[in-house]
């Protein structure tokens, strides 16, 4: 497993992109709409460490209340089905079963940590896998 990114909910994507790139010096990576979730996301990356932040704007969300900013943490796993089987055996609750987003490159699923923080699992198969 490899840590992939942290996702935060933002009230204004343009304003947040300007802050993270111009104030904090992160580099813009990419941006895309996710119509089926009524959302738009943008990734920024720390040029030194490579750490990534996903900025998530939810259409119609309105005000983001304190404490709602953390959207999810994301980890890459080579075999999503095997990981979920092991997680279930350990009593982990699956919040969203594996699925694909339109335009996405692989399957994703979500599990909950003990405090119900959403954890995204991105299936990234090893070369030849």
Residue 74 CB: number of other CB atoms within 10 A? Answer: 20
Cβ 42 vs Cβ 33: under 8 Å: no
Looking at 29, 120, 123, 126, which residue is catalytic? 120
DSSP per position, 57-109 = EETT--S--TT--EEEEEEEES-HHHHHHHHHHTTPPEEEEEEE-TT-SSEEE
Cβ 96 vs Cβ 112: under 8 Å: no
Q: Is 120 a catalytic residue?
A: yes
Q: Which residues are part of the catalytic machinery?
A: 120
């Amino acid at each position: 497993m490899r840590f992939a990114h942290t996702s935060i909910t933002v009230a204004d994507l343009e304003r947040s992109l300007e802050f993270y790139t111009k104030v904090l010096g992160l580099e813009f990576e990419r941006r895309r709409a996710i119509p089926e979730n009524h959302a738009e996301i943008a990734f920024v990356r720390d040029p030194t460490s490579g750490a990534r932040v996903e900025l998530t704007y939810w259409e119609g969300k309105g005000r983001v209340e304190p404490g709602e900013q953390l959207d999810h943490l994301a980890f890459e796993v080579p075999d999503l089905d095997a990981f979920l089987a092991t997680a279930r055996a350990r009593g982990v609750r699956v919040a969203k079963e594996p699925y694909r987003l339109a335009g996405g490159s692989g399957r994703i699923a979500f599990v909950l940590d003990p405090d119900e923080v959403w954890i995204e699992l991105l299936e990234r198969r090893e070369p030849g896998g």
